[in-house]
């Protein structure tokens, strides 16, 4: 056992030697902490430097953590190891995920692999993919195609027609594949939807910049492209779960509180803010709270597969027994709490139906005690709190946004969601504020009559994430 600890200490030392220089020193907060003695048990111990090390490991050492990939599993393992170091028994809960498309676009221009999004409704290809000369087909009107496109790759500008109409015309003209380039400047390609249609050829989208570079190149010489798209089947994702039991309570009649964050990311995005930030704060709160007796059971749950439609959290909630559901009091979900985007001065408390609930009340009370005036109650789904809300549990998501417009940082879901866009001060602020709210809530019983809605299931059509579906 001792040997084990020594090895861990050496690893921790090496880790800190290599990680710390990349990260600023713990900031001097100029907030006046007027919280209660209970708040100070969290505030005095919340260490945003440790949180930054988690964000660094997840977003830099691992990088993008796409659902079902080895990188997502590696992130789950990292979280499990951290929680075990804090003294928790940790379990992982595996679940199946839907098949997904994975693809690649390589052109003969500098042998360049371009960032793509695969259209929903695209066909897959053989392993070799489809190859051909890139043919410029304007906006994809029927008159934009000549015989030259037969067996080749049509490069079509977005706009005017729907994506499906462009693909239909290209298919009729005999194209072997379609590349749609954006008609507006963007950090990432659009995600085209073909509606309910299924194409018989592969369809991918690229950015305006990449599209215009290709156009320029084919003016002078032939450029070929190879599109490969494969369907990945039988993949699994996993949730990581650690339970902190209440002091001196029978195991079957105490309240349960869920403190949650997802750790997966979208393709190409290192996911520093979305959502290594929330994951890091939950890890740090779990570390601190391990030693404190509470009246409620606290479950720290780290979800996979959030980005493909809240799959991990919905699976987790679906596996709760009626008895567990009846004792479930609240879900504090953290998703994107650390952006340094200047405009994001507010901490939104997103509630699915917009109505104040126990989580909001607890957060609002903590904000008052701490003299923090950044909270905004807001009606929004689009994260894992939806799964708990649907099961009748009071739930909210904490997320930094621009107060007037509710906008997210411009690099949301892009390759630019990197650790240099994280504010350690705001991570500290999130940890102190949300941590004080959670600790105040779990350390004591919730008075009768003040509990949430129980097991009345609520359903609705909620946004799964902030990216709109585009048909044209
Ligand atoms: Zn997220």
In what helix (H) or strand (E) does residue 135 lie, and over which residues does it extend? strand 130-136
Judge residue 204's burial from the number of C-beta atoms within 10 Å of its C-beta, 0-12 exposed, 13-18 middle, 19 or more buried.
buried
17 within some domain: no
What is the tens place of the pLDDT at every residue in 384-437?
999 999 999 999 999 999 999 999 999 999 999 999 999 999 999 999 999 999
Q: Is 263 in the same domain as 400?
A: yes
pLDDT of 126: 96
Q: Is 281 in the same domain as 393?
A: yes
Q: Is 76 in the same domain as 123?
A: no
CA distance 389 to 330: 9
8 within some domain: no
Q: Average per-residue pLDDT in the chain?
A: 89
CA of 193 from ligand 1 middle (Å) equals 21
CA of 221 from ligand 1 middle (Å) equals 43
Q: Is 51 in the same domain as 84?
A: yes
Q: Is 218 in the same domain as 239?
A: no
CA of 337 from ligand 1 middle (Å) equals 10
Domains identified in the chain, total number: 2
pLDDT of 248: 81
The CA–CA distances, whole Å, from 263 to 59, 73, 272, 387, 410 equal: 10, 10, 10, 16, 20
CA of 308 from ligand 1 middle (Å) equals 10
427 within some domain: yes
Q: Is 225 in the same domain as 238?
A: no
Q: Is 109 in the same domain as 89?
A: no
pLDDT of 15: 44
466 within some domain: no
**Domain range holding 276?**
27-98+234-442
CA of 219 from ligand 1 middle (Å) equals 41
Which stretches of 86-207 are DSSP H helices? 163-173
Q: Is 111 in the same domain as 79?
A: no
CA of 412 from ligand 1 middle (Å) equals 9
pLDDT of 344: 96
Per residue in 376-396, is it b (16+ CB within 10 Å) or e — as a string? ebbebbbbbbbbbbbbbbbbb
Closest CA to 156 of 148, 166, 143, 169: 166
CA of 143 from ligand 1 middle (Å) equals 43
What is the tens place of the pLDDT at every residue in 237-273?
999 999 999 988 777 789 999 999 999 999 889 999 9
pLDDT of 187: 85
pLDDT of 69: 94
Q: Is 254 in the same domain as 272?
A: yes
Q: Is 123 in the same domain as 254?
A: no
The CA–CA distances, whole Å, from 8 to 21, 52, 77, 81 equal: 20, 19, 15, 11
457 within some domain: no
Q: Is 94 in the same domain as 104?
A: no
CA of 273 from ligand 1 middle (Å) equals 8
pLDDT of 351: 94
CA of 306 from ligand 1 middle (Å) equals 7
CA of 274 from ligand 1 middle (Å) equals 5
Low-confidence ranges of the chain (pLDDT < 50): 1-3, 5-31, 448, 451-462
263 within some domain: yes
CA of 383 from ligand 1 middle (Å) equals 6
Per residue in 103-137, is it b (16+ CB within 10 Å) or e — as a string? bbbbbbbeeeebbbbbbbbbbebeeebbbbbbbbb
CA of 147 from ligand 1 middle (Å) equals 46
């Amino acid at each position: 056992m001792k040997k084990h600890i020594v090895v861990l200490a050496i690893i921790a030392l090496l880790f800190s030697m290599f990680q710390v220089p990349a990260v600023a020193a713990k900031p001097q907060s100029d907030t006046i902490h007027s919280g209660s003695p209970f708040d100070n048990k969290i505030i005095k111990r919340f260490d945003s430097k440790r949180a930054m090390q988690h964000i660094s490991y997840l977003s830099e050492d691992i990088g993008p953590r796409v659902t079902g990939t080895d990188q997502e599993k590696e992130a789950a393992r990292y979280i499990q190891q951290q929680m075990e170091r804090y003294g928790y028994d940790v379990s992982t809960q595996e679940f199946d995920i839907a098949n997904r498309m994975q693809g690649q676009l390589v052109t003969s221009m500098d042998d360049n692999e371009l960032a793509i999004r695969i259209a929903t409704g695209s066909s897959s290809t053989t392993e070799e993919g489809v190859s051909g000369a890139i043919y410029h087909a304007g906006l994809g009107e029927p008159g934009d195609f000549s015989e030259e496109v037969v067996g080749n790759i049509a490069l079509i500008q977005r706009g005017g027609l729907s994506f499906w109409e462009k693909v239909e015309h290209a298919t009729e003209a005999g194209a072997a594949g379609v590349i749609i380039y954006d008609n507006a400047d963007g950090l990432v390609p659009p995600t085209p939807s073909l509606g309910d249609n299924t194409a018989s050829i592969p369809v991918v989208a690229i950015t305006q910049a990449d599209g215009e570079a290709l156009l320029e190149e084919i003016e002078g010489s032939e450029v070929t492209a190879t599109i490969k798209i494969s369907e990945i089947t039988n993949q699994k994702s996993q949730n990581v779960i650690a339970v902190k039991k209440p002091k001196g309570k029978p195991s079957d009649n105490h309240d349960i509180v869920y403190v949650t964050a997802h750790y997966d990311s979208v393709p190409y995005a290192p996911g520093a803010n979305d959502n290594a930030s929330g994951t890091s704060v939950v890890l740090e709160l779990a570390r601190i709270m391990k030693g404190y007796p509470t009246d409620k059971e606290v479950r720290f749950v780290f979800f996979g597969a959030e980005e493909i439609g809240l799959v991990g959290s919905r699976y987790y909630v679906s596996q709760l027994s009626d008895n567990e559901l009846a004792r479930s009091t609240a879900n504090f979900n953290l998703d994107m709490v650390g952006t340094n985007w200047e405009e994001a001065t507010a901490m939104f408390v997103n509630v699915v139906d917009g109505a104040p609930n126990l989580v909001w009340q607890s957060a609002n009370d903590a904000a008052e005690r701490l003299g923090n005036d950044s909270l905004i109650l807001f009606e929004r789904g689009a994260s894992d709190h939806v799964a708990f809300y649907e099961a009748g549990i009071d739930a909210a998501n904490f997320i930094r946004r621009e107060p007037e417009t509710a906008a997210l940082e411009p690099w949301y879901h892009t390759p630019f969601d990197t650790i240099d866009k994280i504010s350690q001060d705001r991570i500290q602020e999130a940890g102190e504020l949300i941590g004080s709210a959670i600790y105040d809530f779990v350390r004591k019983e919730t008075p009768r009559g003040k509990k949430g809605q129980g097991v009345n299931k609520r359903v609705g059509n909620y946004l799964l994430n902030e990216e709109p579906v585009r048909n044209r």
